Amino acid sequence: MHALVVVAHPDAQSLTHAIASHVAEGIATTPSQAHPPASHTVEIADLAAEGFDPRFSVDDLALFQKTREAPADVAGEHARIDRADALVLVYPIYWWSFPALLKGWIDRVFTQGWAYEDVEGGKVMKKLQRLRVHLVAVGGADQRTMARHGYFGAMKTQIDHGIFGYCGAQVVTSELLLASDTGYPEAHLDTARAIGRKVFANAP
């Protein structure tokens, strides 16, 4: 099986990138039960290095309004996700949410007609029910701050439910890695590798 790991951080030497690499390593070293000793495959999408444009343009609006086809870069992202059985997002927490680069990727890529479809009666057809999603957020605040203000719960409502639930994708992992965690930062790399190993742990 195949996973797409999307990372949104401008510094390739950052902890966020190291965590993404360790998640990918965990996936790639998990043997396939259907084709032993072969392993599952993984692709890392480095949005910053690839120069993905997160700005929602008039072309994106036209796609939403169904008056034009998807722009080439959006169609390319659709194809990458369509090839994947699992989607992993690894990102730093900026102002208690995604960084703008990743939010723009969601805004432009999770489009009507591909991720969901508005149908008669105000209902929504969820079109990504096959997709399993794993979220790995990297933050600087401590657990006490996150709990006291309900930040992580708010993020789960906004991201897990508001985005992926709306499209029907199943959020399997929603992990929060903080600077206050015991063993930081090395322990986060072990956790990341373990997350990767679980992505297809029970898959054929």
The pLDDT of residue 38: 73
The pLDDT of residue 203: 65
Domain that holds residue 87: 2-199
Give CA separation, 10 vs 50, 161, 182, in Å: 10, 27, 26
Q: Is residue 41 part of a domain?
A: yes
The pLDDT of residue 147: 87
The pLDDT of residue 34: 66
Q: Is residue 204 part of a domain?
A: no
H/E stretch holding 119:
strand 116-119
Quote the Cα angle for 139-95-150, to 5°: 75
Low-confidence ranges of the chain (pLDDT < 70): 34-36, 203-204
Nearest by Cα to 90 from 34, 136, 37, 26: 136
Q: Is residue 59 part of a domain?
A: yes
Q: How many domains are contained in the chain?
A: 1
CATH code for the domain in which residue 147 is found: 3.40.50.360
The pLDDT of residue 122: 83
Model pLDDT for residues 54-66, shown as the tens digit of each residue:
999 999 999 999 9
The pLDDT of residue 28: 94
